[in-house]
Structure 1
């Protein structure tokens, strides 16, 4: 392995870590060439690459012959491995597990290949974050971090390989258990509470440990803003019981997971009535504004991802935070860990991520942004892309050749068996750090709704609405228009659909029967993908879907508003997701009825054996 490919980073040595960042970003182009050479040399004789390169590892041939692909193109190869065929279909290194992406294919999560070495690459990435934070925040070694982390169910594929979310994979690894500083007990959550599959017991025990150690906490957080706010809502619902446990020194009987009970018992070794009284006083106040700062007074920042779809949670986080900075440290996915935020204390709206050139080989498809919509820009210049069975020429740009202010879709070639894979992430170049570009995350391609890890695109929403509206036709109602938005004003957030209906024939009813509309809500939910249904049923991270019926003519008023904001009358089409607060007000002012789903949609992890 080349010395640049997988570099060790001692998180205790801030100076060395920052120098490493300087070296990587200064030599970004050279590192990228070495990464591609390393990947091609190692994997030239895999079945996938042999089909295009005939055993050669030439970089120019790779760019000319290997197509840019979507998940559907590589899905058959990954499924063959899941069903027991050799890893060498796509990877010279043994594939040790499959990572389930929150994006979906055919209603099921995508499966991404992973290797043992990839865990080391992720550890390197996490270690590099520490000197960056220490550069901007003093004294982080003088206390603890309260990070609320959780695992999710995993499945065993027919080959015996485990399929699980990327964070579950990392938390269950020895790399996580042996992470820097863990042996010094600088995290409030014992590993056993994080690794508890019962999310309610896990949440309760982690919050209990965090409250007992409140005076030592210097930073708090979770991976996503949605998860952290869910923890705050859980605290609102359970603070009385938590105070009772602290007052008596005994954890509640319903905490039945033995590892959780044992882990918590060391923190509840004696009654602490004064601490319980203090927490009770703060939680019982008139308002929870600034509650984070009140309960954990030494906290310097909240570490959660608040870019992309998570930006919708910023106002709620600011309400609870008491003015603490919101820090988004990293940009990563199931496919690959990409980049880090080199200015972690910047405002959420200003966050840019610097891609680390040794994590993967990066390419970029130019996209255009017109009237708020991102569209693919197809040009005949040096590459090809698979599109509905055809190969279409398209421009491809290298990491160091992107232009400031331009929009791109990220394409990755990884050490784990993905070659010129379209991630679906749309990024905008905001500048350069040395020779490495910095990006603002714009959106996921085609995603219109997201509350947690769900990603509902326009096509999925259309299919779900089409199924539901069939219920109305026997009653003489037609759905003439619809749109949606993600309502995060309450916790958990939920999908809201605005429906404009018209009557057919002699139907005198102004709107359908309430029960029929409830059934429509349920059918929409049942028709959405497995990640949405899991978030609704198992994780409770999404609330019941809501349909708001609006007066006739409402969508004409919406069009008038959009045109007044610069949309073209000739090219206007109803947006299937509304993000403008003014537009939502227009729709809400014309609502004539509201209804929520009464049923929780069906969900099971997979047809494969659940572990």
Structure 2
């Protein structure tokens, strides 16, 4: 591989191998430490962001503004608690929309949510049927960016043995906002992109006008040149990253952010294995959609490797035995992919292909709004430690009324209880309802921060009668029959109104072919839902809900869905998620066109 133009960026290494067992109760000393830390962070946020346009124009903050009287008093925590109510995205929308006005002026958006102009604007993946949301993201001092630094370090560490990392992140963007100064000149190029893309750009100082230069570079520790991260076509993006990773025998870590994207990554290698091996043998790159503008840059770091090609050809792409990924990547030790909550259905297939010797890790809970939590224990990818140094994170008991009176601080939560996360962020959001539900499972004995399991989106539920069935209940029910369907890989749920009684319709892609006799599956899913949700059970007994339907999709359907969404929304590759609950008609039609068969049981049809 060529060495000229390599980017000399080496992030610090994060080690969470030896995280202690969480404790179940806080000591008085740890509780006091959490209070002091919260006070310090809140004082900084108030001092910094109270100068913003939003803070001074948003009417529900009037009581807090008046109580502050232009200062940060010692009792700021008490004032904040008593005067600031919960907020939602629509409260911020009129302000955020100013960035997208024609010929936007610096004077209209400077200091809008936080001091200065944002470095980038994160957009949501927009897969739940609603309008894409936008979140201005500002550059903050190092002491208020520890979660960003730790996440970046864990996402692309430097190997102690010379191993390489395959980091499957996009550096593309949906748009560029160019606010004009008083002379009518562009003052700044603000990319509108994925949170991961923008964070990488901000952390490494990448300025959008220099993208053509960055596309010629290569980070020494990475398998693919940066040009691969500028490929807009999702299938081409995955193929090129996989190609460069497979050509490198020392690939030690693969990072795709989400488990569903990791599935697309290895599926592309399995299905196009002969083509990949031919490219490695001959030193060629195919003419794929979306790579023309970076192909010459990629070729700088690409050459024929007949020896590696022969090694791969000998191994082949038979994945019936566990550990295929370890066979083709002999040095592979770690896969980084969020695999909790709605991403857990992919785990059986992933672990089959990874084998027992490859460790699955997660970076944390990183959303467009903020960094919520970091991975806590390398041995348990479902455990996360809440970040308490960059944002104010509060907890709304899901059994209490949905207002600020039900909020608890980190030192007040209880192990075993479920809470909706509420954020006050560095980027100017105040007691913002994130919508994510977590369960507290303990506290870090070193600093007292809560250790959590991610459960679900509070808004991601389905209601067909008078019941409400949650994301975790929907997931649990289908996973009870996973093996009976040939191992569930991915799925989503829609309302099925074809019969007299409404039913939940599961749309499932499986790892293996459907067994000959799966007629019992709908009834077993039905039984699991009744056992998990008494309201569902009641609505069934009163004749309002029928037995769920189960629809088997063509293999590769959800990968096609991600590709379709990226193209239809005009967003960059790398972070599109399939909504667990589908209401959007276009998505419904997309899935129906790819149905192989419906699993019909004896009680599947209403009498």
Corresponding residue for residue 312 of structure 2: 279
Provide the residue aligned with 2:538 in structure 1: 572
In structure 1, distance between residues paired with 2:41 and 2:426: 9
Residue 430 (structure 1) aligned to one of 428, 441, 455: 441
Q: 1:267 to 1:184 in 2, by over 3 A?
A: closer
State whether residues 193 and 263 of structure 1, in contact with CA within 8 Å, keep that contact through their aligned partners in structure 2.
no
Contact 1:485-1:497 at 8 Å conserved across structures:
no
The yes-or-no answer on 1:419 pairing with 2:425 is: no
User: How far is 1:204 from its partner?
Assistant: 2.3
d(CA) in 1 for partners of 2:225 and 2:315?
Answer: 25
Provide the C-alpha distance between the structure 2 equivalents of 1:566 and 1:124, rounded to a whole number of angstroms.
36
Partner SS, residue 166 of structure 2: strand
Q: Would the alpha carbon gap of residues 503 and 87 (structure 1) be closer, same or farther in structure 2, given more than 3 Å must change?
A: same
Following TM superposition, by how much is the alpha carbon of 1:112 offset from its aligned partner in structure 2, in angstroms?
1.2
Paired with 2:176 and 2:354, the residues of 1 have a C-alpha distance of: 40
Instruction: Return closer, same or farther for 1:338/1:174 CA change in 2, 3 Å cut-off.
Output: closer
* 1:44 equivalenced with 2:41 (yes/no): no
CA contact (8 A) 2:346 2:488 kept: no
Question: Quick one: structure 1 residues 195 and 280, their matched pair in 2 at CA, closer, same or farther if it must change by over 3 Å?
Answer: same
TM-score by length of 2: 0.67
Correspondences of 1:56-455 after superposition (within 5 Å): 56=68, 57=72, 58-83=76-101, 84=104, 85-102=108-125, 107-117=130-140, 125-127=148-150, 130=153, 140-151=160-171, 153-156=173-176, 161-173=190-202, 175=204, 185-214=220-249, 216-254=250-288, 257=291, 260-269=294-303, 271-285=304-318, 287=320, 289-323=322-356, 324-346=358-380, 348=381, 351-368=382-399, 377-378=400-401, 394-433=405-444, 434=446, 435-448=448-461
Deviations 1:338-368 (A, max 9, x none): 221221122x4xx221112112011110114
Q: Displacement of 1:133 after TM fit?
A: 11
- The root-mean-square deviation of aligned C-alpha atoms, in Å, is 4.7
Deviations 1:557-598, CA, capped at 9 Å, x for gaps:
9766654x36547973469xxxxxxx99x756xx7x98999x
Q: CA deviation at 1:316?
A: 0.8
SS in 1 for 2:236: helix
**Compared with structure 1, are the counterparts of its residues 436 and 222 closer, same or farther at alpha carbon in structure 2 (3 Å cutoff)?**
same
Contact 1:100 1:112 in 2 (8 A): yes
Aligned positions of 1:545-560 closer than 5 A: none
Q: Please list every run of 5 or more consecutive structure 1 residues that lacks an aligned counterpart in the other structure.
A: 1-8, 369-376, 379-384, 386-391, 449-456, 463-483, 505-520, 526-540, 544-549, 576-582
Q: Does structure 2 retain, via aligned residues, the 8 Å contact 1:209–1:267?
A: no
Shift of the alpha carbon at 1:302?
Answer: 1.4
SS in 2 for 1:428: strand
Helix, strand or coil for the counterpart of 1:98?
Answer: strand
TM (norm. structure 1) is: 0.66
Q: Is the 8 A contact 1:188 1:210 kept in 2?
A: yes
The answer to whether the Cα contact below 8 Å between 2:173 and 2:191 also exists between their aligned partners in 1 is: no
Measure, in 2, the Cα distance between the counterparts of 1:212 and 1:273: 10
Instruction: Compare relative contact order (CA 8 Å, sep 6+) and give the higher one, 1 or 2.
Output: 2
Aligned residues: 481
Q: Distance in 2 between matches of 1:131 and 1:325?
A: 14
Could you say if the C-alpha distance between residues 154 and 25 of structure 1 is closer, same or farther in structure 2, counting changes exceeding 3 Å? farther
Structure 2 CA distance, aligned partners of 1:334 and 1:103? 11
1-side partners of 2:219 and 2:172: how far apart? 27
Partner SS, residue 42 of structure 1: helix
Q: In structure 2, do the counterparts of structure 1 residues 286 and 119 end up closer, same or farther at CA, with 3 Å as the change threshold?
A: same
Q: 1:281 to 1:200 in 2, by over 3 A?
A: same
Structure 1 residue 275 displacement after superposition: 1.6
Q: How far off its partner does 1:210 sit?
A: 1.0
2:167·2:222 contact (CA, 8 Å) conserved in 1? yes
When residues 408 and 495 of structure 1 are mapped into structure 2, their CA distance, relative to the original with a 3 A threshold, is closer
Residue matched to 2:594: none
Partner Cα distance (1:290, 1:38) in 2: 49
> CA contact under 8 A between 2:478 and 2:525: conserved in structure 1?
no
SS at match of 1:442: strand
| Separation in structure 2 between the aligned mates of residue 247 and residue 570 of structure 1, nearest angstrom | 57
Deviation, structure 1 residue 166: 0.8
Q: Contact 1:98/1:113 (CA < 8 Å) preserved in 2? A: yes
Check 1:199–1:561 CA distance in 2 against 1; reply closer, same or farther (3 A cut): closer
